[in-house]
């Protein structure tokens, strides 16, 4: 029987080296799965040079030093909720109530560490609202403002230990990457759990009918991580195994934000408000609303109604309790679509204008073009996400035709017809006269 070789990292045994694995001189074998993260170490082992050590060590040391500075600033947190909300206003249109609630929750989360002698519960948040209204952008902007590690995890990928899929702990691997592998810095980051509504029980009425692998079992598996625990992660991702190397992250200071569309939840809230004995005001509001699927009803509902609705929706009480701050988001109005296109910093139109400018093209959208884009976005019912695809489709033909070497600066005008057909008008800035693209092409072809 041939002698087995073992991987230095995970401990797995092989009869012979894998094609993509590496034998590190003087150290041993690293398997193909673990080698990518060991590449710098391989460089040192291969060359034995001071330069090799610098390649391996300097970036990590520099990153860790930067992280220490950021952590010190975060621990001395003195930003006000108004300042947080003002920063969000620069990047996210509308959702004033949601931004205020988020700003307060973030403020409480980071100030809680400065309180001595009193243990303050975490301010994990649950974002509820239709698709494309800014839930992810609020979280991403918060992380940028706070300068903390940030990752987005997809709850639909999670399964309990022992089943095919990702362990819930793997949501922290992205945080480690965002923190440059520094587990202490990662322990102060933010995790955005998207599609968390998909972890509802399959049968809310009878949870014990069958083992709900992707629903209640995943909720149960998340509880300790959301509350705060010493989570063990496999050194190079994937599933944990007994002989593998692990990283430990304490999750007590990580801010978790669950997010989802929660389709059908507004109807449950409307029903509970009609049934409730909290006063004629709530009942009248619920009765007068023609469409119970309107997400605005979530902002009118008291906290206990929202929590009761989440239980009926298919979440276990312990899971709902891990998200004490429930933040409803509303659908976008036409004027908010317009602001997203034209006024928000780094808007879709501003991005396209910058790209065209690199090729000597001044890109202009007429008012009727913007109106046409908004009308189509409203019909698509996918929120702000529709805007990017509609704008890119409107400029696609111009993006292909206009970049040309040796030509002077021109203006490209996108109008309502462009949104429908992709056609556009080019104006040579020297003459100031509108000239159809076909004539421009003919002129080049004939010259």
- 216 and 87 inside one domain: yes
Are 179 and 149 within 8 A, CB to CB?
A: yes
Say if residue 382's pLDDT is above 50.
yes
In this prediction, residue 44 has a pLDDT band, given cuts at 50, 70 and 90, of very low
- 348 and 283 inside one domain: no
Say if residue 24's pLDDT is above 50.
yes
Half-sphere exposure of 281 (CA within 13 A, CB side): 4
Say what the pLDDT of residue 118 is: 82
In this prediction, residue 280 has a pLDDT band, given cuts at 50, 70 and 90, of very low
Residue 18 lies in a domain: yes
Say what the pLDDT of residue 293 is: 60
Residue 144 lies in a domain: yes
Does the pTM of the predicted model rise above 0.95?
no
Are 167 and 234 within 8 A, CB to CB?
A: no
Q: What is the CATH number of the domain that holds 406?
A: 1.10.8.60
Q: Is 232 helix (H, G, I), strand (E, B) or coil?
A: strand
Q: Among 328, 349, 368, where does a domain finish?
A: 328
Are 108 and 121 within 8 A, CB to CB?
A: no
Q: What is the CATH number of the domain that holds 220?
A: 3.40.50.300
Tens of pLDDT along 251-274?
999 999 999 999 999 999 999 988
Tens of pLDDT along 227-236?
998 888 876 5
Say if residue 313's pLDDT is above 50.
yes
Domains identified in the chain, total number: 3
Say what the pLDDT of residue 307 is: 95
Percent of all residues in the chain with a pLDDT value above 70, rounded to a whole number: 72
Residue 263 lies in a domain: yes
Say if residue 163's pLDDT is above 90.
no
Q: Among 71, 99, 119, where does a domain finish?
A: 71
- 313 and 170 inside one domain: yes
Q: What domain range includes position 323?
A: 81-328
Between helix 81-91 and helix 135-146 the angle, nearest 10°, is 120
- 277 and 357 inside one domain: no
Of 445 and 10, the one with more pLDDT: 10
- 25 and 158 inside one domain: no
- 361 and 296 inside one domain: no
Instruction: Tell me the C-alpha distance between 373 and 368, whole Å.
Output: 9
- 21 and 103 inside one domain: no
Are 221 and 199 within 8 A, CB to CB?
A: no
Are 265 and 298 within 8 A, CB to CB?
A: yes
Give Cβ neighbours of residue 350 (< 8 Å, ≥ 6 apart): none
- CA angle, 189 then 298 then 87, to 5°: 40
Report long-range pairs for 376-383 (Cβ below 8 Å, ≥24 apart). Answer: 376/419, 377/337, 378/334, 378/337, 381/130, 382/131, 382/132, 383/130, 383/131, 383/132, 383/133, 383/134, 383/331, 383/332
Residue 76 lies in a domain: no
Say if residue 43's pLDDT is above 50.
no
- 376 and 277 inside one domain: no
Percent of all residues in the chain with a pLDDT value above 90, rounded to a whole number: 42
Q: Among 328, 348, 377, where does a domain finish?
A: 328
- Give strand pairing partners of 247: 233
Q: How far does the chain reach from its first CA to its final CA, in angstroms?
A: 77
- Give strand pairing partners of 126: 258, 326
Say if residue 431's pLDDT is above 80.
no
- 99 and 61 inside one domain: no
- 296 and 344 inside one domain: no
- CA angle, 351 then 100 then 219, to 5°: 90
Burial of 114 (0-12, 13-18, 19+ CB in 10 A): exposed
Residue 269 lies in a domain: yes
Say what the pLDDT of residue 1 is: 47
- 306 and 342 inside one domain: no
Average pLDDT, the chain: 80
Residue 299 lies in a domain: yes
- 290 and 338 inside one domain: no
Burial of 446 (0-12, 13-18, 19+ CB in 10 A): exposed
């Amino acid at each position: 029987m041939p002698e087995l070789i073992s991987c230095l990292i995970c401990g797995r045994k092989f009869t012979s080296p894998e094609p993509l694995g590496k034998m590190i001189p003087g150290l041993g074998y690293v398997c193909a799965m673990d080698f990518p993260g060991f590449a710098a170490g391989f460089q040192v082992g291969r060359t034995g040079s001071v330069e090799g050590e610098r390649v391996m060590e300097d970036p990590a040391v520099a990153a860790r030093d930067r992280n220490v500075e950021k952590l010190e600033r975060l621990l001395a947190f003195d930003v006000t909720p108004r300042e947080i909300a003002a920063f969000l206003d620069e990047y996210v249109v509308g959702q004033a109530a949601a931004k205020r609630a988020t700003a307060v929750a973030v403020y409480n989360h980071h100030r809680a560490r400065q309180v001595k002698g009193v243990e303050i519960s975490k301010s994990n948040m649950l974002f509820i609202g239709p698709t494309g209204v800014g839930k992810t952008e609020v979280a991403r902007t918060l992380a940028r403002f706070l300068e903390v590690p940030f990752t987005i995890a997809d709850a639909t990928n999670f399964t309990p230990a022992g089943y095919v899929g990702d362990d819930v702990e793997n949501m922290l691997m992205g945080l480690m990457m965002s923190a440059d592998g520094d587990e202490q810095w990662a322990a102060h980051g933010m995790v955005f759990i998207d599609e968390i509504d998909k972890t509802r029980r399959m049968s809310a009425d009878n949870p014990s009918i069958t083992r709900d692998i992707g629903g209640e079992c995943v909720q149960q598996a998340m509880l300790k991580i959301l509350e705060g625990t010493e989570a063990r992660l496999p050194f190079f991702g994937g599933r944990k195994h007994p002989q593998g190397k692990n990283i430990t992250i304490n999750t007590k200071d990580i801010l978790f934000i669950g997010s989802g569309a929660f389709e059908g939840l507004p109807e449950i809230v409307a029903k509970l408000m009609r049934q409730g004995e909290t006063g004629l005001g709530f009942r009248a509001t619920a009765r007068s609303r023609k469409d119970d699927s309107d997400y605005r009803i979530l902002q009118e509902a008291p906290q206990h109604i929202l929590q009761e609705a989440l239980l009926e929706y298919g979440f276990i009480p312990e899971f709902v309790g891990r998200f004490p701050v429930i933040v409803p988001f509303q659908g976008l109005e036409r004027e908010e679509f317009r602001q997203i296109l034209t006024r928000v910093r780094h808007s879709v139109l501003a991005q396209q204008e910058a790209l065209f400018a690199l090729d000597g093209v001044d890109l202009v959208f007429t008012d009727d073009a913007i109106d046409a884009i908004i009308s189509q976005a409203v019909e698509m019912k996918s929120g702000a996400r529709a805007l990017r695809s509609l704008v890119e489709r409107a400029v696609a033909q111009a993006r292909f035709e206009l970049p040309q070497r040796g030509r002077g600066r021109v203006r490209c005008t996108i109008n309502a017809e462009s949104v429908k057909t992709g056609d556009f008008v080019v104006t040579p800035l020297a003459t100031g006269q509108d000239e159809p693209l076909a004539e421009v092409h003919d002129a080049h072809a004939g010259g």
